[in-house]
């Protein structure tokens, strides 16, 4: 049996969450290769899906270093996305793609924020695993940007859809911080490094909302 310290428990919980989200994101992005509108978009989806798979392996290695098999490591988070998925069922390829960019983008931002509450070495390991190649996000967001530039009506519909998805995403993040004490404590540690007087959950929500707005801007969509 591997003994864990409070710091070990925190990194295990956060890395396990990140690994599970990456597993689900791999399935979503990979599925979008099949019905992509053209070969260029399909190739971009494949490239990003491959990197997401690599990230998940890096996160699973953190669990392995603590003596945890993948299923044991990710198991506590099975089902956490079910409510989000049921409330954001997409009806078009474009809605599904934006759901991945926005919904899973917010969850990845959450993990990166919470990593600030870990000891430096643990934070560095998680942040390294969650870092894309420099141009990887552009491979996906540019697909949306090009399509909405060509079809303003699509852009208007996706902007509305993005607002719905981000609302559900932020609600899920808030629920995780409230119902999982370990994640809530990481939020408090991360927030205190910025401003000791700030409410941790409010700080996280503000940071996530700001990053979402920047992401939507890159796609030419109103947040």
Among residues 219, 4, 213, 208, the alpha carbon closest in space to that of 111 is found at 208
DSSP-assigned states of every residue in 132-201: PPTTHHHHHHHHHHHHHHH-HHHHHHHHHHHHHHHHHHHHHHHHHHHH-HHHHHHHHHHHHTT-TTS-HH
Radius of gyration of the chain (CA): 17
Q: What is the pLDDT of residues 18-75, one digit of tens each?
A: 999 999 999 988 899 988 989 988 988 898 889 899 999 999 999 999 999 999 999 9
Q: What is the pTM of this model?
A: 0.89
Q: What is the mean pLDDT of the chain?
A: 89
**pLDDT at residue 222 in the model:** 81
Q: What architecture is domain 6-218?
A: Up-down Bundle (1.20)
Q: Give dist(CA 213, CA 102) in Å, integer.
A: 10
Q: Where are the domains of the chain?
A: 6-218
């Amino acid at each position: 049996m591997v003994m864990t310290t409070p710091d070990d428990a925190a990194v295990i919980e956060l890395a396990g969450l990140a690994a599970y989200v990456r597993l689900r994101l791999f399935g979503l992005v990979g599925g979008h290769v099949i019905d992509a509108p053209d070969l260029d978009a399909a190739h971009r989806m494949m490239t990003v899906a491959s990197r997401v798979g690599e990230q998940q392996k890096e996160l699973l290695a953190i669990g392995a270093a603590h003596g945890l098999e993948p299923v044991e490591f990710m198991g506590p988070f099975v089902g956490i996305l079910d409510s989000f998925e049921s409330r954001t069922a997409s009806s078009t390829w474009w809605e599904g793609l934006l759901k991945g960019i926005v919904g899973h983008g917010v969850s990845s931002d959450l993990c990166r924020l919470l990593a600030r509450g870990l000891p430096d070495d643990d934070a560095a390991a998680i942040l390294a695993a969650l870092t894309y190649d420099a141009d990887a996000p552009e491979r996906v967001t540019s697909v949306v940007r090009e399509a909405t530039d060509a079809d303003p009506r699509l852009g208007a519909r996706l902007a509305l859809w993005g607002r719905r998805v981000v609302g559900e995403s932020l609600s899920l993040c808030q629920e995780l911080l409230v119902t999982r004490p370990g994640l809530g404590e990481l939020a408090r540690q991360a927030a205190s490094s910025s401003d000791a007087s700030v409410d941790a959950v409010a700080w996280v929500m503000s940071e996530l909302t700001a990053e979402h707005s920047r992401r939507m801007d890159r796609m030419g969509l109103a947040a």
